[in-house]
């Protein structure tokens, strides 16, 4: 196991932080796809937690249980970039290899490939011809396009999706043959059209995501990020179950350290009625991303929640909220678990907090309405329905949200009318109705089974 620590920005310019972060992420991707059977690489989310921590390499190795550490620095001045990297053996802090590169910005990918080959040599990995060919690709890029791409990744990772999309689009405009730019754009549109962000209607966002993913793969078939984005659209929009699984499997084959692929694949397996396999994917993601709250608390919490083990789910979500109190999604999922556990007042409090943190997002507002209905506060639940009606006149509001509230109110005809609309609009998470506890009261109705058959879902 190996970890790539965040490259230090030596440019004396805080605005260049995205450049050093982007190089770190790209190096993780390069090394993660080198020889997955023999070299495991810690995922980005966990690696970035060690940025400026001041911890010793010995302490980091002990915490992450890794054998090797890559650390380095980057300095960019105009169109020149200077990168220093070294490989350290953790058990005795021996420096196995070190090198400094100074090149034009257009050759930065060549530097990454060279570093990967040097590390492979230092670790005595035998690179097959296919791997050598893989490392030889994408060595020259348009400098401005690559720079824009790294800035897009920085914003995407910080969930500023609109800004990330803008930079990916600009990167493609600078270089229409830039595969990474299309992969970034695909993942941006996936998030913009999905819960919890719901910034665009699925019928607008998902075709754009699919087109960008296909273009990226046309240019470079070995991009795990593009296969993952394509798999997401096949799962949540096209309902192409076989195609989605094929793309998820290809993504994890190409880069086992890409935790997003395993997380979304785990969701797919739950939807397909394969919870044990889903848990196995979550556990594999945890091996590569042990410090990720999203995996540790969200994915495991969701697993317990969907298994109807609400006590375990609440424990996981509460840990998530304690560690990241400012992220609305943790409070939202805690509210769901409280509601199913028969603790409506705690659910209301959690949803209220989620709503405050999210700026009254439709998702969190609907969660509050659902909790009101579960608590027997029907008038307040109807006030939320009215607010969602007003909100839907100026932005996209998933029909699934009103389905949930009407289900909790016991108004099945209204619930099915809105569920039908959710199916028609391809609401992102409508494919999860067969496993989501919120919709348990509808399961015995023949109309529910008919809708599942339309989506070719197990009942």
Q: Does residue 71 sit within a domain?
A: yes
Q: What is the domain extent for residue 77?
A: 2-140
CB atoms within 10 A of CB 352: 16
Q: Does residue 44 sit within a domain?
A: yes
CATH of the domain at 123: 3.40.50.10070
Phi and psi at residue 288, to the nearest 5°: -90, -15
In DSSP notation, 266-316 reads: HHHHHHTT-HHHHHHHHHHHHHH-TT-HIIIIIIHHHHHHHTT-HHHHHHH
Q: Does residue 89 sit within a domain?
A: yes
- For 148-182, how does the pLDDT look when each residue is reduced to its tens digit (9 = 90+)? 998 998 898 888 999 999 999 999 999 999 999 99
Task: Give the mean pLDDT of 241-252.
Answer: 97
Instruction: Tell me: do 177 and 99 sit in the same domain.
Output: no
User: Are 372 and 404 within 8 A, CB to CB?
Assistant: no
Instruction: Tell me: do 33 and 130 sit in the same domain.
Output: yes
Nearest Cα to Cα of residue 441 among 411, 417, 418: 411
Task: Give the mean pLDDT of 373-389.
Answer: 98
Instruction: Tell me: do 127 and 149 sit in the same domain.
Output: no
Among 115, 140, 165, identify where a domain stops.
Answer: 140
Among 140, 158, 178, identify where a domain stops.
Answer: 140
- Quote the longest CA-to-CA distance of the chain: 69
Task: Give the mean pLDDT of 431-450.
Answer: 96
- For 182-237, how does the pLDDT look when each residue is reduced to its tens digit (9 = 90+)? 999 999 999 999 988 899 999 999 999 999 999 999 999 999 999 999 999 999 99
Instruction: Tell me: do 119 and 151 sit in the same domain.
Output: no
At 135 the pLDDT is 59
Instruction: Tell me: do 131 and 146 sit in the same domain.
Output: no
Please say if the pLDDT value at position 357 is more than 90: yes
Number of structural domains (the chain) is 2
Cα 393 to Cα 4, 40, 297, distances in angstroms = 47, 49, 35
Among 255, 287, 322, identify where a domain stops.
Answer: 255
d(CA 126, CA 145): 33
Length, in residues, of the chain? 459
User: Are 189 and 61 within 8 A, CB to CB?
Assistant: no
Instruction: Tell me: do 131 and 6 sit in the same domain.
Output: yes
User: Are 297 and 285 within 8 A, CB to CB?
Assistant: no
Q: Does residue 367 sit within a domain?
A: no
Partnered with residue 87 across adjacent β-strands are 70, 97
Give 398: exposed, middle or buried? Use CB within 10 Å, 0-12, 13-18, 19+.
buried
CATH of the domain at 235: 1.25.40.10
Instruction: Identify the top-confidence range among 90-94, 118-122, 140-144, 164-168.
Output: 164-168
Nearest Cα to Cα of residue 220 among 161, 167, 141: 141
Instruction: Tell me: do 154 and 228 sit in the same domain.
Output: yes
Task: Give the mean pLDDT of 367-391.
Answer: 98
What pTM does this model have?
0.85
**Percentage of the chain lying above the pLDDT 90 cut:** 67
Task: Give the mean pLDDT of 61-76.
Answer: 92
Cα 353 to Cα 40, 133, 196, distances in angstroms = 39, 51, 15
- For 32-46, how does the pLDDT look when each residue is reduced to its tens digit (9 = 90+)? 887 877 888 998 888
Instruction: Tell me: do 131 and 159 sit in the same domain.
Output: no
């Amino acid at each position: 196991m190996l970890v790539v620590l965040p490259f230090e920005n030596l440019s004396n310019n805080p605005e260049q932080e995205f450049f050093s972060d982007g190089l770190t992420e790209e190096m993780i991707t390069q090394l993660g796809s080198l020889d997955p059977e023999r070299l495991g690489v810690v995922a980005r989310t966990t690696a970035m937690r060690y940025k400026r921590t001041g911890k010793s390499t010995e302490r980091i190795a002990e915490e992450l249980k890794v054998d090797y550490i890559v650390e380095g620095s980057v300095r960019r001045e105009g169109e020149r970039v200077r990168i220093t990297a070294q490989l350290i053996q953790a058990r005795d802090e021996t420096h196995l290899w070190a090198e400094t590169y100074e090149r034009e910005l257009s050759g930065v990918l060549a530097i990454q490939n060279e570093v990967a080959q040097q590390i492979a040599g230092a670790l005595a990995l035998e690179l097959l011809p296919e791997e050598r060919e893989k490392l030889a690709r994408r060595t020259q890029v348009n400098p401005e396009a690559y720079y824009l791409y790294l800035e897009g990744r920085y914003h995407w990772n910080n969930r500023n999706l609109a800004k990330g999309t803008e930079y990916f689009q600009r990167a493609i405009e600078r270089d229409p043959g830039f595969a990474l730019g299309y992969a970034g754009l695909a993942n941006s549109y996936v998030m913009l059209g999905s819960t919890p962000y719901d910034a665009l209607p699925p019928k607008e966002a998902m075709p754009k995501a699919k087109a960008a993913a296909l273009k990226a793969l046309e240019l470079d078939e070995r991009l795990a990020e593009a296969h993952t984005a394509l798999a997401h659209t096949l799962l949540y929009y096209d309902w192409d179950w076989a195609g989605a699984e094929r793309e998820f499997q290809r993504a994890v084959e190409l880069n086992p350290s890409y935790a997003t692929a395993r997380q979304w694949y785990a969701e797919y397996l739950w939807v397909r009625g394969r919870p044990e396999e889903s848990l196995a994917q979550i556990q594999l993601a945890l091996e590569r991303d042990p410090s990720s709250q999203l995996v540790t608390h969200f994915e495991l919490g969701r697993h317990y929640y969907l298994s109807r083990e609400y006590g375990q789910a609440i424990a996981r979500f509460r840990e998530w909220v304690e560690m990241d109190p400012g992220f609305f999604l943790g409070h939202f999922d805690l509210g769901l678990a409280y509601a199913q556990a028969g603790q409506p007042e705690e659910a209301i409090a959690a949803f209220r907090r989620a709503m405050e943190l999210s700026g009254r997002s439709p998702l969190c507002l609907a969660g509050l309405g659902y909790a009101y209905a579960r608590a027997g506060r029907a008038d307040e639940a109807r006030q939320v329905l009215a607010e969602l009606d007003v909100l839907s006149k100026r932005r996209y509001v998933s029909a699934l949200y009103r389905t949930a509230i009407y289900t909790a109110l016991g108004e099945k005809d209204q619930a099915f009318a809105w569920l039908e609309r959710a199916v028609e609009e391809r609401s992102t998470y409508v494919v999860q109705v067969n496993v989501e506890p919120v919709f348990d009261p509808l399961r015995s109705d023949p109309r529910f089974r008919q809708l599942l058959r339309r989506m070719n879902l197990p009942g």
